[in-house]
Structure 1
């Protein structure tokens, strides 16, 4: 094909060219590799490359697949490819190779997508920034001095620069939506139980974490969810099946008149940057002009209780992760095996009681019940995706005094004292202040999306989040497709590196 401009096409667009035999899968893959090699040295988004395997796959692509011949990156956690490294951003896993494909990978493979590599993540996907010590920080293509967010930051940076049109992502507290917001992308966190978590696990982060993709277009996200939504018998959670096509929802025309509640108030009672507020207000004005009914109000939940219950799970999961390292290392983990904050989080997790865990899960269920009743009146709940624009690289590092206190406590394994002092909880809450809006959907199991609708005066994207009732991704996709056709939608192609 003459004048083939790889970056101009989304995933479905590339697949259509390949199906019509206007371009070969090998040619498309070659363009993806060129883009990765050109941009990755500046961004550090891709940390493991599968070029040889992808080239072999490109020579024998089944053209029936929805994404046949389309280059795609996977995230370096929970998206295992048999025989390939998967490190979860940690040096503790530096010698580990996946024993089998994850069910997510098996489902995506059926679409004909070509896996070209893995993307950078914070250690064990624990942060809303992507700055692992093992691989180094990933940078935001809109401004290299800033974070692309996390934990799917590598995937977001790669898609936002046109390395690939789609990339694997997962979301346990905002890890699809936060980097989607920071990099000007569309990101859908599906309903709990909609996408696979097996075959090794029956739940991830007690059901808070789900897998999907980050994309430049709404239709790519919808088409991929059509392909990966399955009933997984051994999974701990299932959701009501969706018999229709999400892609058809995107193509089905404007949404009907909807009732949308919205708020710019932090559920933690903390500051929300004026640009993040403006993103919501201008979106509300647009939606009202389209005929939708807009109501400014808060969600019917206690934001501080939600944050506390999220952090309780978070601490416990880190402790369990460190305990499971014995299977990988052949010995018990020690402080030098992981990053200092990870170790300290694990110590706090050890001091977290079974009672606290049970009470936190009850809080999740209380919130889910309240939000289900809420959505009987309101189709969506709209908020800023994040409370602040992207932080600068290194800005959220613990202070020198915090590191000193954590190092001393870590060496002495003073888990109870650490928990009582609240040092780690305060560091965690300080980070949550920047991203307080996303955790609610993870705990309730609701679907939620971020849409790219605003740029700050210095050219950094901030997104707007919409939540819907459980099982209503179709409603979210319909609204997203409607917004995508308006001038409010920020084209990712306008970032300096694309």
Structure 2
């Protein structure tokens, strides 16, 4: 099979089946991905470092007989340590921080048989809804290279949507799986709090708000990758409700008749972009045709409360990470260590008290208890993923602090589920008048990832979406 037939015609689960039945060799899959990297990555800047030689050696040494054996895979340069590679977090301060060993997630990906080929771009510490770090430069959306692929998992999303890779690791602390999935026409699920362990176990990446999974072209790939990394590590502080066995196997069952509420405005009543609102109404009608009970309804919360929790909790975590890095380097913070937006937040939180952090954590708990009862009446909440159309690069620029308020507009519907820990997924739902992707979000009660995956699979079957951007749109 040639590169196009392999990578354009099969998802990760399909490629693994080709390997299992000896129709293709893992090295042939890697050859195809390397060819795509050389052709497309210079345009997109999605993958910022590679370990291709190590990947070939891993294949030659013999891969584990896991369910995704032989499938090439990339991990985000944030929250996933890979031995011998920089864990730069999109930051110049961490550019020389080489991981001595694989973290928990890399070990689990390798055990599933995946072949790690490189790391994908991310904004500094994942603190932007667009992927434009000063360290590596901007990543471009393969549907239109003048536009953002979203953030903070924008490198992963661009690599997958462009056909470089079938799937890639991502993580989400305020929408960082779902926003890039929405911008790039992919499926992305943020799991329930505690479903996937933090990679290094030291809570540096905004725990308990952030969690890892993947961006994928198909729902079944996302389920298979969640199977690969789900499950606690002994000593984890938070455990998600027990899953129904394999998430991939759960897709064999229909979701049954569900109660689905939907909304087309933000929590404060602000209307969303017309394309997003229309996508919700269209999806609501389709879900009703599929046999679900659908009505307009929404839980209530104050958006300012969510912003306050995110800013305080994630900011404190990043601040600790910065100070720990400076202690290792044995020097004070230099002017060019951090991007202006990160430095502003670091300086602002330097005077914050532990009392303020405690109040933010209490507010997060209050929001969870305020929103969760809505899911006693409804099984799923349907919203736009984004409140606005996919913006151009530069609309969220960390060197111009006045533009960073725009990043918050990208998280109107996503960040509340990081604060509450509830699962939520972005599902492709068509295109706007400019030809850029539009998406809807499905959210559910704690531990209901299988339900969200089943509903998403119903939508995928009833209204299939393009697996990737035509490359001439990205060239």
Aligned residue runs from structure 1 range 388-427, under 5 A: 388-397=388-397, 402=401
Aligned residue runs from structure 1 range 186-225, under 5 A: 186-202=187-203, 204-225=205-226
1:51 aligns with 2:52: yes
1:432 aligns with 2:408: yes
- The residue number in structure 2 matching 1:445 is 421
Q: TM-score, normalised by structure 2?
A: 0.95
Once the two structures are overlaid, the 10-residue window that deviates more, 16-25 or 319-328, is 319-328
Which runs of no fewer than 5 residues in structure 2 stay unpaired? none
Q: Where does structure 1 differ by over 6 angstroms across 4 or more consecutive aligned residues?
A: none
Taking a change above 3 Å as real, the CA distance of residues 479 and 243 of structure 1, as seen in their structure-2 partners, is closer
- The residue number in structure 2 matching 1:421 is none
Aligned residue runs from structure 1 range 91-490, under 5 A: 91-202=92-203, 204-252=205-253, 254-397=254-397, 402=401, 428-487=404-463, 489-490=465-466
Cα shift at 1:330: 2.0
Secondary structure at the residue paired with 2:171?
strand
Cα shift at 1:75: 0.5
Q: TM-score, normalised by structure 1?
A: 0.91
- How far apart are the structure 2 equivalents of 1:240 and 1:215? 24
Secondary structure at the residue paired with 1:382?
strand
Taking a change above 3 Å as real, the CA distance of residues 283 and 2 of structure 1, as seen in their structure-2 partners, is closer
Contact 2:384–2:439 (CA<8 Å) still a contact in 1? Answer: yes
Secondary structure at the residue paired with 1:394?
coil
Cα shift at 1:203: 6.8
- How far apart are the structure 1 equivalents of 2:283 and 2:39? 35
- How far apart are the structure 1 equivalents of 2:43 and 2:399? 27
Once the two structures are overlaid, the 10-residue window that deviates more, 143-152 or 83-92, is 83-92
Cα shift at 1:483: 0.6
- How far apart are the structure 2 equivalents of 1:362 and 1:130? 31
Contact 1:47–1:118 (CA<8 Å) still a contact in 2? Answer: yes
Cα shift at 1:231: 2.1
Please list the CA deviations of residues 114-134 of structure 1 after superposition, one character each: whole Å capped at 9, or x if unmatched. 001000000111111000011
Contact 1:103–1:199 (CA<8 Å) still a contact in 2? Answer: yes
Contact 2:280–2:383 (CA<8 Å) still a contact in 1? Answer: yes
- How far apart are the structure 1 equivalents of 2:228 and 2:432? 35
- How far apart are the structure 2 equivalents of 1:230 and 1:392? 38
Q: How many residues align?
A: 473
Contact 2:204–2:321 (CA<8 Å) still a contact in 1? Answer: no
Secondary structure at the residue paired with 1:451?
strand
Contact 1:216–1:492 (CA<8 Å) still a contact in 2? Answer: yes
Contact 1:188–1:213 (CA<8 Å) still a contact in 2? Answer: yes
Contact 1:203–1:237 (CA<8 Å) still a contact in 2? Answer: no
Cα shift at 1:202: 4.7
